[in-house]
């Protein structure tokens, strides 16, 4: 059912979506043209590619503790790092976009829910190398593997927290974040809970990014509820990602943009 839903929702997305020419907000227009559609070949892309290749060549098998919505691919708790990197981690284009986002938005304080093997984490860090980046991973073995990779690639400013998301973020509510990336638990109630818990951490310039907003009907329902929240002013649906902004100077508006 989930795959059928994803295919149907993608065709519906294509019918609704536009490019920069359908955007009348100067902030969103600049974000789309200067960041989303930026075709420059940044040197950091080679580092992103090298990190991914490092994982794809690692045949180590890990015992997985899954605290989220589970996997649509893996049917066992034993998974090789190489297989996880090939099917479960951010793909190359997604990682490049995350790099451009922290680079373009100049994010100095970043929170990620769902480290996995750190593909997205590395990309977020490369975009703003001295940003304070906290990433939370529920599985101790995956967390340890990510830490080892970060050390190998000399990523110095990443704080890996190994804990259940709910417990971990309860201790972070007094912080402020420029960017929060939600990529670990694709269940409706959990997503809404994390969103509400982390609302006190926002500033006027904060962006929340939700991964896989069409993962399931429940995940899309969570996305639609988030869009209507009174503190949310601008949202951008790119099918893969849902971007949420809290800019008080902007009228509430929702955009559907093809990447």
pLDDT (0 to 100) of residue 73 = 46
- Domains of the chain, by residue range, sit at 2-256
pTM equals 0.93
The pLDDT of residue 67 is 57
In the chain, which stretches have pLDDT less than 50? 69-74
* DSSP letter assigned to residue 18: B
Predicted pLDDT at 250: 92
Give the distance between the most distant pair of CA atoms in the chain.
Answer: 50
Count of alpha carbons within 13 Å of 112, Cβ hemisphere only?
A: 29
Write down the pLDDT at residue 70.
Answer: 46
Burial of 211 (0-12, 13-18, 19+ CB in 10 A): buried
Q: Identify the pLDDT of residue 28.
A: 95
The correct CATH number of 2-256 out of 3.50.50.60, 3.40.50.1400, 1.20.1540.10, 3.40.50.150 is 3.40.50.150
Burial (Cβ within 10 Å: 0-12, 13-18, ≥19) of residue 196: exposed
């Amino acid at each position: 059912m989930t795959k059928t839903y994803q295919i149907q929702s993608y065709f519906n997305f294509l019918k609704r979506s536009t490019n920069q020419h359908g955007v009348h907000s100067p902030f969103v227009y600049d974000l789309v043209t200067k960041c989303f559609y930026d075709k420059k070949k940044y040197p950091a892309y080679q580092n992103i590619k090298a990190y991914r290749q490092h994982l794809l060549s690692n045949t180590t098998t890990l015992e997985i503790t899954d605290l989220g919505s589970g996997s649509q691919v893996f049917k066992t708790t034993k998974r090789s790092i190489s297989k996880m990197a090939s099917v479960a981690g951010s793909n190359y284009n997604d990682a490049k976009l995350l790099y451009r986002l922290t680079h373009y938005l100049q994010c100095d304080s970043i929170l990620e829910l769902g480290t996995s093997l750190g593909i997205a984490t590395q990309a977020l860090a490369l975009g703003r190398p001295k940003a304070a980046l906290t990433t939370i991973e529920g599985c101790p073995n995956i967390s340890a593997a990510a830490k080892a990779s970060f050390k190998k690639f000399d990523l110095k400013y990443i704080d890996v927290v190994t804990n259940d998301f709910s417990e971990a973020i309860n201790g972070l509510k007094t912080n402020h974040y420029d960017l929060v990336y939600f990529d670990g638990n694709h269940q409706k109630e959990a997503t809404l809970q994390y969103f509400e818990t982390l609302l006190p951490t926002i500033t006027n310039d904060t962006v929340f990014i939700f991964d896989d907003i069409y993962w399931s009907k429940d995940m899309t329902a969570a996305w639609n509820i988030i869009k209507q929240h009174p503190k949310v002013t601008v949202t951008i649906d790119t099918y893969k990602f849902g971007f949420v902004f809290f800019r008080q100077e902007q009228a509430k508006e929702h955009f559907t943009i093809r990447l």
